[in-house]
Each structure stands twice: as structure tokens, then as C-alpha cells.
Amino acid sequence: MSNPFARIVEPLDPHQPQKNFFNLSKLEDARYARLPFSIRVLLEAAIRNCDEFLVKRADVENILNWKVVQHKNVEVPFKPARVILQDFTGVPAVVDFAAMRDAVKKLGGDPEKINPICPADLVIDHSIQVDFNRRSDSLQKNQDLEFERNKERFEFLKWGSQAFKNMRIIPPGSGIIHQVNLEYLARVVMDQDGYYYPDSVVGTDSHTTMIDGLGVLGWGVGGIEAEAVMLGQPISMVLPEVVGYRLLGNPQPLVTSTDIVLTITKHLRQVGVVGKFVEFFGPGVAQLSIADRATIANMCPEYGATSAYFPVDDISIGYLIQTGRDKEKVMCMKKYLEAVGMLRDFKNSSQDPDFTQVVELDLRTVVPCCSGPKRPQDKVAVSDMKKDFEACLGAKQGFKGFQISPDRHNSIVKFNFEGCDFELAHGSVVIAAITSCTNTSNPSVMLGAGLLAKKAVEAGLAVKPYIKTSLSPGSGVVTYYLRESGVMSYLSQLGFDVVGYGCMTCIGNSGPLPESVVEAITQGDLVAVGVLSGNRNFEGRVHPNTRANYLASPPLVIAYAIAGTIRIDFEKEPLGINASGKKIFLKDIWPTRNEIQAVERQFVIPGMFKEVYQKIETVNESWNALDAPSDKLYTWNPKSTYIKSPPFFDGLTLALQTPKTIEDAYVLLSFGDSVTTDHISPAGNIARNSPAARYLTGRGLTPREFNSYGSRRGNDAVMARGTFANIRLVNKFIDKQGPQTIHFPSGETLDVFDAAERYKQAGHPLIVLAGKEYGAGSSRDWAAKGPFLLGVKAVLAESYERIHRSNLVGMGVIPLQYLPGEDAGTLGLTGRERYTIVIPEKLKPQTNVQIKLDTGKTFHAIMRFDTDVELTYFHNGGILNYMIRKMAS
């Protein structure tokens, strides 16, 4: 069907009439000039796809009318230009695609219809672990062990890259997905099928928002939703509110981009931006580099927004050239963006659009800070770190408390490491990791860390040998400029050797601590500390033995590693005393901004990016040597403990099943606030006494071969057993932390999986009770798939993080939300009741449903299917079932 907006099509260059674009300025509509720039991208996508799929002329009108309809739950479809995946979420996505091909074939359809129709890039960055550190061959040994553990997974992914069109695999050892996207994959403006249009992306990782810093509208989605997008299904979204975040002033000389983003994270958590876009504007934006903006956009999930958008400006254009993109193409991009009114001048307030709400931050007020000990939004000024940690020691168990009795606050445990005696205490640093795309993508903080290391070594300072130090850059470019600038050797002398190119410590792949260190922590029940330049520090995520974890800039990671403790006031206490007896303070070795900028100008150059990225798909010889099958249908190996055909589509027919009332459900678990997807589906080590360990042992594996939950996401049997298996899980039914619950019919305390199996065998449906922010954190789809396989039919919570609610919808699990002002406490719910959830025959978005208890009590909750499309998925038993029926018919 012809596009009704064809009248606004024109060539960008009269000499190239085949290169067209939709000139939105020709809409001659005053509303367009007042739209937030992020909403303009949605509008362009709607016009470009008008009358395709679910996109209609009315959707375009709704977007133009954004200011009026933004509070009215108006549903619009969005078809992103690209999809990106990492391997922890990419493997289950390819497993689902392989299983969907089988299902379509069984239903009489063409299995090859299951194929991405938009570009999909999968970067392998989640598999490598810090098994080796503090040695010159750490990188090679960690990469060798990565391949030894994950060869089967990698062969499967290589099969996927050959079996599916439009799917590109970036091999292991290349870098972190979001940094590779920023430096290489992102187009900013697409040039495809004879049209220019804005780049946009969704990714199976919550930190996909990092690309918003370059002016590419993007956000994280669950793997289930991403699979549907790859198959051509638009994302159905409620037209969002857009919070304008005005930045003013210049940061102080000692402040880093990490300090800025931690300040913004705390601020926006207080403002409340869940489900909203945040768009940055104001003269302060012009003072930030693209790397600074990307750092701020990266932590968007931590402040809860859907997107954290920085419109394209001249600094963005300059970054594209700096990172080796073709200059002629970049100039065409700029011409297009100017033509459609999408090139921003942040110093020109007349370009400021309308926003739902405006909040602001004066960058001059930002001070050096960290966040912790358990949440990214709990910012602490560096000057207050010592007293804040000591207050946390005695505070009640919670986000800011460890409930250590006062008589034990100064406990010391002596231990021996490599023949030398050392001491550990509460607050001792045992992990110091420069890690994560959040910070390693930023040359200013990485060179700042290198220059600080140089000055520290020259001053005679060192890091204690038992502290697990590591450096895991987000791309090979980082190593290149650290080496060329001469600071790499100093980082190595302090123990910060390159250990791998991947997420590593930031996602819990921190590897083992020395046994003597673990024994000392356990013996003294110590609150040991991890300090990392990452984006998340949820309890149990970084390492099982670090109960306190602080997010910090790379220079501060090194500073705390040298100090060996978090209980230090840098202004009053020295980092250390050198061999001459001189006290060395942090201020003595902290590099100035001018020093850092001078080195950055000299050594961060386009040639580096070109050299690294031109060989990114072929440089890994181990990957090149992998032998993968070439069949279009995957041949499942029944002996595999990594790749298994999932049971999601067993018994699927073309006919729809009418949703039924959930009768007499038991509560599997009862939670408080801020239960994360790490709690629901951990990614780290598989405990030796867990149901997953028992399953793997039964298949002949030894604990050394268990690998991690993240690496096993292609096997539903492992992942179902790993659901709610986090050792820091706090279940109100149990009086201690741990992955257990009460099986109410018998009164027994069991592992969560074992209890769920008992309920399933007896035919009892299950629900989960939760507080606020249920499902915060990573976008992992197994946090919805796992509960589904345990027999959980619904979750009843006070509020949901956006991606997890979408994932529950995608699996056909009902997300229920208490009515405003109500919660388990006000309703007197204990979780020991049995729940009947009445499903009406006729449903509409956000229907109020009746819930009856076996006690005779009745109350209502909101069924959080927010759009008609989500209800369609529910009637199909989930989004993948819907896509299979669509392809098969």
C-alpha cells in the first residue's frame, strides 16, 4: 500500500534522486516544532512505516498531538531500525528461534519464515570471567578458559549466524556490546532501501540506552520482545511522558562523568521516571563529550527511565569522525538531520521543545562520589564514605544496613597469603575492578586512571597482593590508547592488567577470591567490599563474599585499592606511606583535567578505531576455527547441558485457548521492595548445594564444569532450577536470606524449585507477592521464563520495572498491581492464603480484576496489560506463541 505521506518525500541531494527522506518540516504543522526530539524519532518511524503492520495514520496524528495525549495511555507502534543482543540473552533468543522453526514446521508452515527481517548484531561479551589476574598472561588464559567452557554455546551461535539471515555475530574478545555499538555499530542515520531515516535500536540488555548519548533512540527490551521485533512485529508502547533534564554550568575540575551520572541517578530516582523518556537539554550538555553523555545514558535503567536521550549535535558529528566513520557519509547525515530539524544546538534555547516536566542540575554542584553499598541510587560523597559505611555497619539489615553488633565493628581477622601475614576488617577492599562499558568507553576517566596509577607508582605506592584487581576494557581501542600513552605499564604494576574484553566483574563474572581471603571473611563474618567502575551493585551480584559493593570512577577504584579499605577519609588520611616514610595523599596523585585532556587529544585518534574495528569479525582465531552445522533446522543433542529445545511450544495448536480464572493458587514467595532480576534469575556461579547443581551432577558434570547460570540460559532444565536461586534472596516466609520457601500443604521448608515441583505435581497454580520496583535491573527474559516454568500464573506487586513487566506479558504471566494506596500490609495479606483471580471474559487494557481469598476476603487489582496488543499476546499464551501462529497461518 502506498504511504499517504508520500507528499513529504524529497531527495537529500538532487544529483542522487534515489536517496530520499521524509521531510518532516513539510508537514506544515506547528506541533512538530514543539515535539521533544525523542518523540520526533517515533514520529518519523510511524510515517516511514505508515500502513505497514499496525502503523496507521491515526498513530501519526497521536504522536503529533503528543502534548495533549501523553497522559492518556495512547498506544502507538514503534518499529526500530536495528536489534542488538549479547550472548547471555542472545543464546536463549537463538534457542527460541530454532524451537519456533520446529513448531512452525509441525503446524504446517514454512520454518524459514522464522528469520530476522531487520539487522541483528549479537556481541559475545558475557561469557569471559576473571579466573586469572595480576599476571601478564591473564588475558590469554581467561580467553582460553572461556572457549573451553563455552565451546558448545559458541558453536550454536555460529550455527545461528549461518542459519538466519540478517544476523551478525561479533566474536568473543571483541569488547562489550554497548561500547562496540557506540564506537562501531551505530549508524545515527540509516541509509537503506533508498531512504535516509534516524537510526533506532532495541537490545536484549537494559543498558542499550547507552547509545542514546550519541543521539540514537534506543532502550532495552526483554529477549522475548526482541525476538518478535526481529520477526517484524512492531513494539506496542504507550506514548511516553518526556521529562526534560536541563543541565547548566561546568563540572568542577576534580569531577568525573561517573560522579555526574551517580548524582543524576539518585536525583531521577527521587523524581520518579519509570516508564518515561528523559531528554537532556540546556547549555550544560554542550560541556559534555559524547563519552560523558554515553555514561549518563548508560545508567538509564538505574534511574528507571525507558530512554535517556541526547539529541544529535555538532559534538555527535565530530565523534563519528573521531571514531573512524566515513567522513563523506557523516556529512550527508548532518545534512539530513538539519533538513528534518533533528540537529540540536544546546546553547540555543529557542530550540527547546515542550516537555511533560522539567527538572535541572547545575553541574557545578556535583562532587566526587560513589554509590552503595547495595544500590546504584544510594549516592555517597567521597568525603562522607567512611562515616557512611560505619553507619551502615550497625544499621538495621536493609539497603543501607548490615546489622553488625557494635562490639564487632572493629573486628580484625589475621590471615596468610602467599607466605605473608595480612589483616582483614569490616570495610576491607578485596575486589577492585575497572570494568563495564559505563566507564571504560570514556577516554577521560580511563586515562585519568592511568595517570593516577603512574603518579602512585612514582610516589612509591602499591596495592596489597590479595586484593583481586582487574582491568576489562569495553573495546580494544582502550588498550590501544592506554598503551600508546605510556600508562599501561603503571596500571599493570598496581595489578590492573587487562584480563579480558567483556562485562566480567560488572555482571558477576568476577571469578574466585583466594581461599585464605574467603576463609578470613567467613571466619569473622566480615562485611568485605568490592569497588568497581560498573553500573550495578545489587546484593549478591558482584561476588558472594562481598556484602558491600560500591560503584566508583576508575581513578577512585585504584585509590580505594591502594588504601585497601573503604574506611578512609581521603582529605585527612593518607593513601599510604612510601618507603621513605612520606605520607602520600590522594590529592598528591590526582591528575588535573588539563593533564588528561592533553593526553586524550594526542592519543585518542581515528586511526585507532579503524585499525581495531576493520578486523573485529575475523581477528579471533579460536572463533574462526569453530565448526558449526549448516542445516536450517537445528539438530538438538539430548545429552547437551547447554543447548536444549525448550518446552514453551509443546502442544501448541493454531486454535486459541480462552484464558481461565486462576483458582485457589498458593503463594510461592512473598517479597518486599526492589526485588531485582538478579534475585529472580541470577547470572553468576551455580552453588554446589543448589537444585541446578544436583541436576548437572546427575548428568555427570563436576563442580568445575558447572560454569554460570548466565552461560546455561540455553537449557531450560538448568534455568528453571536456577529461578529464585540467589543466595541473597529475602523471602518473608523464611527468617534468613536464601533461596528457600515454605511448601504450605506439608509445612516443609524447601528449595524454591523443589517446592514449585511439589505444587505442580499436585496441580496447584502459583502466584508471587511483591512490593515496589519488582523486576528492577537487567533485562533478562529468564526472570519471566523461569517463573513460568515453575507454574507461576501471576505476580501481584505494588509496581514493576518496565522491561520485566513486558517480559511477564511476553510469557503469558499476568502482572497484577495493587490499587493506588493499597499493598499487602493495608490489605492484611500474609501470603499464606489461597488466591482465586477472576479473569473476565471481555478484557481491556488495565482492567480491574477481582481477587478472592480462601479466608473470605475479596479485593481488586489492576491487570497490567497496558495495550490491546499485549492483551492479544495474553490470549495467545505469550508473544512467541502469537508469532508462531502468525507465521504458520
Could you tell me which of 445, 476, 444 has the C-alpha nearest to residue 610? 476
Q: What is the 3-state secondary structure (H, E, C) of 188-254?
A: CEEEECCEEEECEEEECCHHHHHHHHHCCEEEECCHHHHHHHHCCCCEEEECCCEEEEEEECCCCCC
Distances (CA, A) of 709 to 696, 700, 713, 717, 723: 12, 17, 7, 11, 10
What are the φ and ψ backbone dihedral angles of 686, each rounded to 5 degrees?
-95, 115
Domains of the chain: 6-78 (no CATH), 82-365 (3.30.499.10), 371-611 (3.30.499.10), 662-888 (3.20.19.10)
- The torsion angle over the Cα atoms of residues 592, 593, 594 and 595, rounded to 10 degrees, is 60
Q: At what angle do helices 782-790 and 802-810 cross, to 10 degrees?
A: 50
What confidence score (pLDDT) does residue 7 get? 56
Give CA 462 to chain center in angstroms. 34
pLDDT tens, residue by residue, 298-356: 999 999 999 999 999 999 999 999 999 999 999 999 999 998 889 999 999 999 999 99
For residue 588, give the amino acid letter.
Answer: D
How far is the C-alpha of 169 from the C-alpha of 155, rounded, in Å?
A: 11
Q: Give DSSP secondary structure letters for 330-375.
A: HHHHHHHHHHTT----TT-GGG----SEEEEEEGGG---EEE-SS-
Could you tell me which of 284, 292, 282 has the C-alpha nearest to residue 258? 292
How far is the C-alpha of 302 from the C-alpha of 2, rounded, in Å?
A: 42
Could you tell me which of 629, 785, 791 has the C-alpha nearest to residue 93? 785
* Positive/negative CA dihedral, 537, 542, 548, 551: negative
What confidence score (pLDDT) does residue 540 get? 82
How far is the C-alpha of 652 from the C-alpha of 663, rounded, in Å?
A: 23
How far is the C-alpha of 792 from the C-alpha of 806, rounded, in Å?
A: 16
Judge whether 798 and 623 are in contact, CB under 8 Å: no
* Bridge partner residues of 776 (DSSP): 676
How far is the C-alpha of 340 from the C-alpha of 24, rounded, in Å?
A: 6
Tally of CA atoms within 13 A in the half-sphere of 431 that contains its CB: 37
Per-residue DSSP letter, 705:
G
Distances (CA, A) of 796 to 7, 338, 396: 49, 48, 27
How far is the C-alpha of 286 from the C-alpha of 699, rounded, in Å?
A: 58
What confidence score (pLDDT) does residue 53 get? 41
How far is the C-alpha of 223 from the C-alpha of 810, rounded, in Å?
A: 9
What confidence score (pLDDT) does residue 1 get? 39
Residues of the chain with pLDDT below 50 are 1-2, 53-54
Place of cell 500490609: 825
Judge whether 744 and 644 are in contact, CB under 8 Å: no
Per-residue DSSP letter, 703:
G
pLDDT tens, residue by residue, 80-102: 999 999 998 899 999 999 999 99
Q: How many CB atoms lie within 10 A of CB 415?
A: 20
Does an H or E element contain 260, and which?
helix 257-271
Could you tell me which of 93, 438, 35 has the C-alpha nearest to residue 240? 35
- Using only C-alpha atoms, the chain has a radius of gyration, in whole angstroms, of 26
Could you tell me which of 360, 357, 361, 73 has the C-alpha nearest to residue 243? 357
Q: Answer whether the bond into residue 373 is a cis peptide, omega within 30°.
A: yes
Judge whether 517 and 413 are in contact, CB under 8 Å: no
Q: How many CB atoms lie within 10 A of CB 828?
A: 11
Q: Give DSSP secondary structure letters for 612-625.
A: HHTTTTT--HHHHT
Q: At what angle do helices 87-106 and 879-888 cross, to 10 degrees?
A: 40
Do the strands 740-743 and 748-751 form a parallel or antiparallel pair, or are they unpaired?
antiparallel
Judge whether 78 and 42 are in contact, CB under 8 Å: yes
Per-residue DSSP letter, 498:
B
Could you tell me which of 132, 130, 125 has the C-alpha nearest to residue 91? 125
* Bridge partner residues of 767 (DSSP): 667, 794
Does an H or E element contain 429, and which?
strand 429-434
How far is the C-alpha of 583 from the C-alpha of 765, rounded, in Å?
A: 65
Q: How many CB atoms lie within 10 A of CB 627?
A: 7
Cell numbers describing residue 271: 523524581
Residues of the chain above pLDDT 70, percent? 96
